[in-house]
Structure 1
Amino acid sequence: MKRAFVKRLFSVALVTLMSLITVAQDLSGAWKGNIVVQTYSIPIVLNLQQDGEELTATLDSPDQQAFGIKATAKVKGEKLEVTVPEIGASYSGKIDGNTLDGTYSQMGFSVPLKLTREVAVAVDDNIEINDSLLSVFDNIQLKEVEVTAQRQLIKQEVDRIGYNIEADADSKTNNVLTMLRKVPMVSVDASDEIRVNGQTNFKIFRNGHPDPSLDRNAKDILKAMPASSVKRIEVITEPGAKYDAEGTTMILNIVMADNSTLKGVSGMASARADHMGALGGSLNMTTQLDKVVLSIDYGIHHDRGGGQNYESSMYNRYTESGAELLGNTAFDVDKVTVHFGDVSASWEPDTLNLLSWSLSGFAYNYDGNGINSNLMRDAAGQPLYSYGMGNYTKADSYNFDTRMDYQHRTRLKGETVTLSYMLSAFRNKNKDNSRYTDLVNMPVPYYGIDQNGKENFNEHTFQLDWTRPLAEKHTLETGAKYIYRLNRSHNMLDYLGIDDDTDMRYKHVTQVGAAYVSYTFHSGPWDARAGLRYEHSYLRATYPDGQQDAYDAHLNDWVPSASLRYQFNWSNSLKLSYAASINRPGISFLNPAVIESPTSRSYGNTDLGSVHYHSVSMTYMHVGPKFTFNVTPQFQFSNNGIGAVKWADGLVQVSTYANTLKTYSTTLSAFVQWMMLQKTNLMFNGSIGYNYYKSKELGLKNDRISGNFFANVTQFLPWKLQLSGFAGLWGGSVNDLYGYMGTVFFHGFSLQRSFLKEDRLTVQLQAIMPFSGKTMSVKQYLTQGDVTGWTRYEQTTRKFGIQVSYRFGSLKNSVKKADKTIENDDLIGSGKQSGGSGNSPVGGGMGGGN
């Protein structure tokens, strides 16, 4: 225990010292010393590089295999004052020629620390703190005084909150989806549905730009992506002016590891299986050839559908006639196969220029079948008609995108110019064959429907970004962007038994020109940012078969944003933010093709326009050695939202969309990370809110209070065992003008142990929903309109599985990425919207929400 304390206390000092900055004399060089506690001594090296009055620093702890930790500090008179907020430490030392003589303090302990300068070194000013050094502070004990602390893996900035995946030991053996359960404001339920702050309307980025391969079936792809290839995961709460105006107010940004040095080959291979027949595996490799760094990722997820099924039951009452519709559906997944791949490369000919390229994509194949029964009866309970239905569904799609970024750094530190290009392509084919059986008084003349659909999506994006520091405290960012987006769809409906088929082709072109400017100010405890973005959009829709007239529209949008943050001390901060955003309707909202069944009819609306959202929030955050939390009240509103419009045409339910929705929401959300005991850690996300929906044109309003929570507990056991458990609840929120969603509870456990040298082999056992039945169910209620009632969805979620992971090589580098690159975070009602959920035969019922 004494030795553990020594190492921990020692490493804190190391981190603190790296801040040494701004001195009158030239402090460049390698400053070496030892932290000594009782009989233990740990060497450290502080590397300093001075350029005029500017000083950069990194810290090395050779015994702990921790190198290149970035630092900052201030010189007051003849003394060097250093603080390290990440671990709550401080250092004060006197500068005397080639020595620094002072005292290091942390958690109530103080030890003398003297450093001696040797040789000058070069410092990479892009290196971030390596939390592997901080991990020795997890538990320290000295005599009868016990001091415990947890690694600070959470970092808040003016526009985001991040979780350091790379510094979490669990990332060496888990996939990205599993690690998401540790990220602030993020929850993953038993069916792998991803939510951010309890919502599904968010975007997933990779390295600061949208990754089309993650726009669909994100949960399957993230299962196949090894967490060891990820540096950190950020929740961007205020995207700001440099991001597209169209999009959601939340972005989940997955940042891959970057900026270090690698020799040789490193990576990780993993395989997993569960008792329901799902298999998966992934491979990640990184290598360096001269000045070129290459990274390759491949993952596969295959589900043979053994026991995985979806069931639903429904009850609808037609308000005017009193007629009732009862239905039951059972759907089995025959096969789901997802392949995901990514190749990234970077070339850095010198310290001022960087060229990076990537190619990524996925292929998705789905087969399923189901049976359905429906009964329509009058107000007296007498049958009007009934029928059964057999259904077969098949979907094949693939997506690929390629990006290239050229970044040039000028001689002015912090100034960069970035040119970017991205090509994204998506192809989708789906087939849905339905056959009606046991027909009694069937209200339609056909006995089945064969539906075939094709969608082709292509997007070209060109972008220029310029960042320039104006002075020590000021930074200006500006840029321009052009997007050309072409979406083609072809829908064919064959109504068996009659000559009334539908064949509609639809072409939708969107061109967006945008420019932005953003200003950032930093001085002492103050951080401020303000930005403005202008976008001009041209939309044109045509019908190649001439069935309808073409239409076009020009849209002009100004989108402001601002935030202000004050750091009271190393552990407490307060942030106030305002943000605006817009959403443009996607092809599924616009396409006028009519989809019919005996009980329903739906179609899009070509007259839809952009939706404008505004939000104001305030966040208080406390970072402590054992207890970290934040609390955020937020108010958001929109006056022209796109909402569903539903009515009854006799006994047929009809639906389309319109810009008639006014929405208001007030939310209080919180995140907690708590080291409850010496070897017990708790993470908690939760929120409670009030949502109000109103349409003056339809004469309807709907409001409701709802909440959600997600908790994750980790317990370290003897024999290198680690037990983790999670539980959560979501739902209860307003769906639209017509109803609300019920609540869902879920839970799961995992037990893992590592073997071999350096814990390279890890075996993990998993249990999902072991105690509350094998299904997860949710009920959706219709409370007003021409049709009321409910629909209950059930999905088989109980799973018992095993995962085996093996690390090889020594991962000390990854492909470098440009500081700026393309991010297209737009479109609602399109195939490119992520929301984190995969395809569900129950039509999104298990993944519903706001």
Structure 2
Amino acid sequence: MKLKYAIIQLAMISTVLLTQTIATFGQTVVNSRSNAVKADSLTKNDSIVGLEEVAITAGRPVILRKADRVIYDLKADPESKSNNVLTMMRKIPYLSVDGDDNLLMKGNSSFKVLINGKPSGSLEGNLKAVLKSIPASTIERIEVITTPPSKYDAEGLAGIINIITAKKINDGFNGSVNINESFPVGGPGIGGAFTAKSGRFGMSAFGGGGIDHSPKTFNRNKRIDATGTTLDQQGNQHSNNKTVYFGTELSYMIDTLNLLTAQVNYNGSLVNGYTAQASDLIESEGSLQRYIAENDNRATGYGTDAGLNYEMGFKSVKNRLLTFSYLFSTNLNDRRGSVAFGDRMNFTTPDFVQTDRQRFKEHTFQIDFVTPVKKLSIEAGIKGILRKNDSDFDYSQLNPISGWYQKDQAISNSFSNTQNVFSAYNSYRLNLSTWNINAGIRLEETIIRADFSSTTSVADQNYLNVIPSVAVGKGFKDGSSINFGFSQRIRRPGINRLNPYVDRSNPNYEVTGNPELKPVLLNDIQFGYGSNKKLAVNIGLNYSFMNNLDLQVLSFNPVTQITRITYANTGKSSSIGSNFNLGYPVTSIYNLNINGNATYLWLSGEDNGQPVNNDLLMYAVTLSNVVRLSHGWALNADLGLNSRNPTGLQGYTNGFFYSAFNFNKNIIKDKFSIGGGVKNPFTKYRNSVNTSFGPQFTQVNETRNYFRSFNISLNYNFGGLKDRISKIRGGIENNDLAR
């Protein structure tokens, strides 16, 4: 704990010294809130950014490039009016979506997602479902922060995705509503956004919900061990996922120097699923074991976060700001699976019910200070995150005599994990005529304690990380730019990887977490180039490496015929990759865009003491064709190709081809429109194949999913504005916890 107070004192001393230094420069410009609020709501001092921005498309730019990020304007893309946010992610530089609809950044699943520059507990553990339920037409833009400045927490190996739901707003009100339907997979949905301002009060809100229905499809799992014994499982599954979400920001301008804001976000979900599977364990002489399993599973969850921010300006120095912030987040998830067996042969496991109650709570306190010195902007701050994860899991077996389920104390338990993170940062941004430099350093001390209620087992971890970040950008007279970045990023394991709850819904497989996981540190070097000529170009190159990597590992026990799946700090990796986005106006009405990435990954580790390598070339490419016709018509045709991706140290998925055709028609310009389309019209089903391997086994899991779907949506915009809402330009951004 002494180290924690030393870090806090260091940040406070640094802030005082910076203030005294600035005073010697005699900066006496009077601050005006009416001028201050013209800065970007997500950047403390955009007035000094200058030439770091490069527009990459003609007309209203769809992509904007900065030294540390790229920005995608969804409002400038007509396809956003007929798709959800997850689908639109395929078109955004550095992002891709795999065959299971998991969002990837630079081919990596470890990143942090913010809403309007702030963390949202409502997204934790349910990101895919929420992004599927949000109509893209209700989102303003998406920022992909590839080299996060030191003011951001160091969590998220690939970087940060920031979803902006509302533009800068004025006196009056405006909003949008979207109603959509997708079939045979998917379902109905509704979403909307609203902004209003009256005098000193302002608000912005977004919300909605949807149903994601997956009809019954086929699945098969086949495992062959070193002796030739084969486990063959075949069956079917279907599921229904209901999601609702809501978020709001409120602001009150006390006077020209003092601003108070608050935010509240909520997300709820209900998942009902069913799986039926016939299992047969076979050797050369015939069946060794056989059974049929039916699994009814239900999962409910919700996440809530509420925050309060106070920003104070100074009359003596324009754009000098002091911000105090507090954020409370909670996330609750309950899982229940009921498994019944039939047609038994040499199989004695009784019917059972397993439950898991996860609870997550977090308190965050933060102080930020920013001040200008001529062309230099200096930032410093301190932060404390007090986080607690709990899991209470039960396993109950059916007593055939009494007909009651009895709790098995031997494999039921409760787990508690507290994780406190204390940090301080200091960063500098310098803007010259053609150069923009952003450099800083962040200190993060993490204190972890994990224990079980039924045992004396305790896991303690304390570690300190010194995290540098440098981003350099240079603009040229022809509108092109280059940028260079170096950063270190960290992944602390979340409750999904730590939780020791064992999922036994398939008796031949056990899936569990590892409470002794340690954090992973990544070193990343990046280079980027952008040009806004007729051929718009946005290219990025990066090299990264990390050790002690926490990977999914599989171990097979030939005696019990059970494969155990968990996580372990067993691997190391390095990768070299490229990201590219090219846009070209073929004619006055036809625009062509290619977005993609390619990475070669070297991955190695151990399985039961034996070396394992899983080196892969990964790529994802989307070709987008946009035709804007007269009378408000717009047509889109997208073609995509994804390679196989690793699932851990010992596995990979298969690749796939993706296609989509959409239309949008403005009925009333800028007010009412209708959109729709078809995804994968030439392929009704897609077989998702997951291959795993180890020294003693090979395994192939195949799931057939509906691939073809149709969708239609209605969009309505309303209201009018006169003057912008004031927003806190600092505030809490908890991007320190891994997904």
The two structures have a TM-score, normalised by structure 2, of: 0.87
1:160 Cα offset (Å) = 0.6
In structure 2, distance between residues paired with 1:692 and 1:707: 14
Residue 345 of structure 2 is aligned to residue 440 of structure 1: yes
| 1:228 CA drift (Å) | 5.6
Instruction: Tell me by how many angstroms 1:426 deviates.
Output: 1.0
**Percent same amino acid among aligned pairs?**
27
Give 1:827's aligned residue: 737
Per the alignment, residue 310 of structure 2 pairs with: 406
Q: Paired residue for 2:231?
A: 325
Which amino acid in the other structure matches residue 299 of structure 2? Answer: A
**Residue 650 of structure 2 is aligned to residue 738 of structure 1:** yes
Deviations 1:781-829 (CA, angstroms, capped at 9, x unpaired): 224332213222221132112111111212556654311121222334x
Question: What does residue 555 of structure 1 align with?
Answer: 463
2:276 corresponds to 1:371: yes
Q: What does 1:656-675 correspond to in 2, within 5 Å? A: 656-675=566-585
Q: What secondary structure is seen at the aligned counterpart in 2 of 1:372?
A: strand
By how many angstroms is 1:174 displaced?
A: 6.4
Partner of 1:312: 219
What is the rounded CA distance, in whole Å, between the counterparts of 2:705 and 2:435 in structure 1? Answer: 49
Q: Which residue, out of 323, 329, 333, partners 1:418?
A: 323
Q: CA deviation at 1:152?
A: 2.3
Q: 1:388-436 deviations in whole A, cap 9, x for unaligned?
A: 1111011111111111111222232232211111110111111111111
Q: Report the CA distance shift for 1:726/1:811 in structure 2 as closer, same or farther (over 3 A).
A: farther
The superposition leaves residues 83-130 of structure 1 with CA deviations (integer Å, 9 ceiling, x where unpaired) of: 998679xxxxxxxxxxxxxxxxxxxxxxxxxxxxxxxxxxxxxxxxxx
Residue 392 of structure 1: aligned partner: 296
Matched, 1:768 2:679: yes
Q: Offset of 1:383 from its aligned partner?
A: 1.6
Could you tell me how far 1:516 is from its partner in structure 2?
A: 0.8
Matched, 1:818 2:728: yes
Paired letter, 1:765: G
- Kept in 2, the 8 Å contact 1:407–1:416? The answer is yes
Partner of 1:481: 383
Residue 194 to residue 551, structure 1, CA distance change in 2 (3 Å) = closer
1:643 is aligned, of 540, 551, 559, to: 551
Aligned-partner Cα distance in 1 for 2:528–2:319 = 28
8 Å CA contact 2:112, 2:735 repeated in 1: yes
Deviations 1:465-489 (A, max 9, x none): 11111222x2211111000001111
Q: What corresponds to 2:19 in structure 1? A: none
Partner of 2:153: 244
Q: CA deviation at 1:737?
A: 2.3
Mark the CA change 1:655 to 1:765 in structure 2 (over 3 Å): closer, same or farther.
Answer: closer
**Contact preservation (8 Å) 1:328, 1:374:** yes
Quote the Cα distance in structure 2 between the aligned partners of 1:72 and 1:604. Answer: 47
Q: Secondary structure at the match of 1:221?
A: helix
- Specify which of 623, 638, 656 is matched with residue 532 of structure 2: 623
Q: CA RMSD in A?
A: 3.0
Q: What is the rounded CA distance, in whole Å, between the counterparts of 2:617 and 2:182 in structure 1? A: 38
- 1:223 deviation in Å? 4.8
Q: Which amino acid aligns with 1:676?
A: V
The offset of 1:346, in angstroms, is 0.7
Q: In structure 2, what is the equivalent of residue 464 of structure 1?
A: 367
Describe the shift of the 1:759–1:475 C-alpha distance in structure 2 as closer, same or farther (beyond 3 A).
Answer: closer
The 1:228/1:350 distance shift into structure 2, 3 A limit, reads: farther
Q: Deviations over 1:184-209 (max 9, x none)?
A: 33345787543333443322111222
* Cα contact 1:543–1:550 (8 A) shared by 2: yes
Task: Report how far residue 588 of structure 1 moved.
Answer: 3.4
For the Cα contact (< 8 Å) 2:522–2:546, is it kept in 1?
yes
Distance 1:417 1:310, change over 3 A: farther
Provide the C-alpha distance between the structure 2 equivalents of 1:582 and 1:84, rounded to a whole number of angstroms. 27
What is the distance in 1 between the residues matched to 2:287 and 2:249? 62
Deviation at 1:179, TM superposition (A): 4.7
Match among 174, 181, 206 for residue 266 of structure 1 = 174
Hey, what's the Cα distance between the residues in 2 that align with 1:603 and 1:87?
47
Using the alignment, how far apart are the partners of 1:351 and 1:511 within structure 2?
36
Alignment CA distance shift 1:608-1:71 (3 Å): closer
Mapping for residues 351-362 of structure 1, pairs under 5 Å: 351-362=256-267
Would the alpha carbon gap of residues 413 and 181 (structure 1) be closer, same or farther in structure 2, given more than 3 Å must change? Answer: farther
Q: Is the partner of 1:647 in helix, strand or coil?
A: strand
**1:461-610 alignment runs, 5 A limit:** 461-472=364-375, 474-497=376-399, 500-501=408-409, 502-544=411-453, 546-596=454-504, 597-610=506-519
Residue type at the aligned position of 1:476: I
| Unmatched runs of 5 consecutive residues or more in structure 1 | 1-50, 59-69, 74-81, 89-137, 139-148, 834-850
- Unpaired runs of 5+ residues, structure 2, are 1-28, 37-44, 401-405
Contact preservation (8 Å) 1:258, 1:813: no
**Alpha-carbon shift at residue 450 of structure 1 (Å):** 0.7
Number of equivalences: 687
CA distance in 1, matches of 2:52, 2:352: 66
Deviation at 1:581, TM superposition (A): 1.1
What does residue range 205-216 of structure 1 map to in structure 2 within 5 Å?
Answer: 205-216=114-125
1:827–1:787 distance in 2 versus 1, CA, 3 Å: farther
The answer as to whether partners of 1:761 and 1:805 remain within 8 angstroms in 2 is: yes
Q: Distance in 1 between matches of 2:604 and 2:712?
A: 48
1:494-526 Cα shifts (integer Å, max 9, x gaps): 133587453211111111110011112221111
Answer yes or no: is 1:350 the counterpart of 2:255. Answer: yes
1:639 deviation in Å? 1.0
* Residue 293, structure 1, aligned to residue 192, structure 2: no
- The corresponding residue for 1:429 is 334
Indicate conservation of the 8 Å contact 1:745/1:776, yes or no.
no
**Do residues 720 (structure 1) and 632 (structure 2) align?**
yes
- Quick one: structure 1 residues 733 and 226, their matched pair in 2 at CA, closer, same or farther if it must change by over 3 Å? closer
Question: How many angstroms apart in 2 are the aligned matches of 1:715 and 1:538?
Answer: 55
Residue 196 of structure 2 corresponds to residue 284 of structure 1: no
**CA positional deviation for 1:715:** 0.8
The CA distance in 1 between the partners of 2:100 and 2:626, in whole Å, is: 21
CA contact (8 A) 1:297 1:342 kept: yes
More contact order relative to length (CA 8 Å, sep ≥ 6) = 2
Q: Tell me, yes or no, if the aligned pair for 1:189 and 1:747 is still in contact at 8 Å.
A: no
Give, in angstroms, the shift of residue 221 of structure 1: 3.0
How far 1:268 sits from its partner (Å)? 1.6
Name the CA shift for 1:172/1:367 in 2 (closer, same or farther; >3 Å).
Answer: closer
Contact 1:434 1:449 in 2 (8 A): yes
- How big is each residue's C-alpha offset from its partner over 1:533-587, in whole Å with a ceiling of 9 and x where there is no partner? 111111111223x334223221111111212222233422221211101111223
- 1:340 is matched with which residue: 236, 241, 245? 245
8 Å contact kept, 2:553–2:648? no
- Give the Cα–Cα distance (whole angstroms) in 1 for the partners of residues 138 and 231 of structure 2: 51
Could you report, residue by residue, the CA deviation over 1:34-88 in whole angstroms, capped at 9, with x for unpaired residues? xxxxxxxxxxxxxxxxx89x9x999xxxxxxxxxxx9999xxxxxxxx9998679
CA contact (8 A) 2:525 2:543 kept: yes
Letter of the 1:415 counterpart: R
Separation of aligned partners in 2, 1:326 and 1:755 = 55
Between structure 1 and structure 2, the one with the greater Rg is 1
What SS does the corresponding residue of 1:213 show, helix, strand or coil? helix
Residues 343-392 of structure 1: CA deviation (Å, up to 9, x unaligned): 221111333222111111011111121211111112x2622112111110
> What's the offset of the Cα at 1:225?
3.9
Supply the distance in 2 between the matched residues of 1:812 and 1:322 (Cα, whole angstroms): 74
| TM-score normalised to structure 1 length | 0.76
Tell me the alpha carbon deviations over residues 280-302 of structure 1, each in whole angstroms, 9 at most, x when there is no partner: 11232222232101223220102
Within 1, Cα distance between the matches of 2:421 and 2:522?
19
Within 5 Å, which residues of 2 pair with 1:771-786? 771=682, 773-786=683-696
SS of residue matched to 1:735: strand
